[in-house]
């Protein structure tokens, strides 16, 4: 049973009720196939032109279009259908319970409420015969490697601008951090645990490098900031080594993540790690065999996702702010402009020539958490703001681009 046309809350509940965990996070995760089919059926019933585009076996993107063909500006509305796992959750993950104005469930905030709001807003705006086309892209795999949005861009998908309806607490977010992953491989020398004279402890050497990176983070790195995003950051996410307490470990691998600001790259991350290794290795030698002067280490760069940064005076930003002010005029305050701490597909879209910002219901602080919820009032407000923005952006039939 599909949600009534334009009913964002009903659609949110329907989407949350479907398990769409990303297979990257659990062996029993079903992926996005069932939830994509439901959304496609819903949008087809609402009058959209809908395509299901398989990106991986049983995991299709939903691409839907409405309005357009009359000279107005096109708008892409992007959101992901996959969720992370549910281990440790303290409420039923796929039961969309509503209590005290909050709708609970895995994916309620991240980001099925946002997907529902953008779909409902596109339908509502199109009831006035839009001049520009609105494109709905409900994609797979954002929580892992963004295969869904990457596939659409490789197909040549284009639009004048995009809004990604990630949870922003209804703030307008034209910028967010990027990230880069790298493995630090530290080489030691295996020996019996009693032979400090010949053993070289790879784990201790890894700890020395991590301590040097932390010193760099608290010093030089903290001095480089972005007006919306603050500073970049390091942290160690994993550590692996041999599993023998009575032996000096011959190797240690630490998985590192660097959250990056606009202008920072994966190559910068590798350089920072190598510089930290060099600084530790250059410390004065002592007779101890485990001293830092014996350090041997190398770095392998992994996945890199660039930051996003759209100028505050871009029509996408100013237009969305105007729409929030129109909807919220009774409250006397427009939505704030903020930076988003997490990474989103907006960065891929902006890099591909489709300026993209984030705006949506819910709080990223409860995404991936043991308790996940979205305020019901925010779903309604996001839908109203997006409807207002679409009507102004794409214009009525006969409105020409640039007018």
The residues annotated with a catalytic role in the active site are 82, 142
**CA 275 to CA 224: how far, in whole Å?**
18
The three-state DSSP-derived secondary structure of the chain is CCCCCCCHHHHHHHHHCCCCECCCCCCCCCCCHHHHHHHHHHHHHCCCEEEEEEEECCEEEEEEEEECCCCCCCEEEEEECCECCCCCCCCCCCCCCEECCEEECCCHHHHHHHHHHHHHHHHHHHCCCECCEEEEEEECCCCCCCHHHHHHHHCCCCCCCEEECCCCCCCEEEEECEEEEEEEEEECECEECCCCCCCECHHHHHHHHHHHHHHHHHCCHHHCEECCCEECEEEEEEEEECCCCCEECCEEEEEEEEEECCCCCHHHHHHHHHHHHHHHHCCCCCCCCCCHHHCEEEEEEEEEECCEECCCCCHHHHHHHHHHHHHCHHHCCCCCEEEECCCCCHHHHHHCCCCEEECCCCCHHHCCCCCCEEEHHHHHHHHHHHHHHHHHHHCECCCCCCC
**CA 94 to CA 318: how far, in whole Å?**
37
**CA 53 to CA 31: how far, in whole Å?**
14
Backbone angles phi, psi at 136, to 5 degrees: -100, 125
């Amino acid at each position: 049973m599909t949600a009534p046309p334009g009913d964002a809350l009903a659609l949110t509940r329907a989407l949350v009720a479907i398990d769409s965990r990303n297979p990257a996070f659990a062996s029993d995760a079903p992926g996005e196939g069932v939830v994509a089919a439901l959304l496609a059926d819903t949008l087809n019933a609402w009058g959209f032109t809908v395509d299901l585009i398989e990106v991986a076996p049983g995991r299709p993107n939903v691409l839907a279009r409405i309005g357009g063909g009359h000279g107005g500006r096109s708008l892409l509305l992007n959101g992901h259908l996959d969720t992370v796992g549910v281990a440790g959750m303290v409420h039923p993950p796929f039961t969309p319970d509503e209590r005290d104005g909050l709708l609970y469930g895995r994916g309620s905030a991240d980001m099925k409420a946002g997907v529902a709001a953008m779909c409902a807003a596109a339908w509502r705006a199109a009831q006035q015969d839009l001049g520009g086309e609105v494109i709905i892209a409900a994609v797979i795999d954002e929580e892992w490697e963004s295969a869904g949005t990457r596939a659409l861009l490789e197909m040549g998908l284009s639009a004048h601008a995009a809004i990604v309806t990630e949870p922003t607490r209804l703030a307008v977010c034209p910028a967010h951090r990027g990230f880069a992953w790298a493995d630090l491989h530290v080489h030691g020398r295996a020996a019996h645990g009693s032979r400090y004279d010949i053993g070289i402890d790879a784990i201790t050497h890894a700890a020395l490098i991590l301590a040097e990176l932390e010193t760099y983070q608290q010093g030089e790195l903290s001095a480089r900031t972005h007006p919306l995003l603050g500073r970049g950051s390091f942290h160690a996410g994993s550590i692996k080594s041999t599993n023998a307490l009575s032996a000096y470990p011959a190797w240690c691998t630490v998985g590192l993540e660097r959250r990056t600001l606009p202008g920072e790259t994966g190559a910068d991350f590798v350089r920072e790690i190598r510089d930290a290794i060099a600084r530790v290795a250059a410390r004065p030698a002592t007779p101890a065999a485990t001293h830092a002067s014996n350090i041997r280490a190398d770095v392998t760069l992994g996945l890199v996702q660039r930051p996003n940064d759209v100028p505050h005076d871009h029509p996408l930003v100013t237009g969305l702010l105007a729409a929030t002010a129109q909807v919220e005029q009774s409250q006397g305050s427009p939505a704030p402009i903020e930076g988003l701490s997490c990474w989103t597909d907006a960065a891929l879209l902006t890099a591909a020539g489709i300026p993209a910002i984030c705006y949506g219901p819910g709080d990223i602080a409860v995404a991936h958490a043991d308790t996940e919820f979205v305020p019901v009032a925010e779903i309604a407000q996001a839908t109203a703001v997006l409807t207002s923005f679409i009507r102004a952006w794409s214009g009525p039939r006969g409105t020409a681009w640039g007018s």
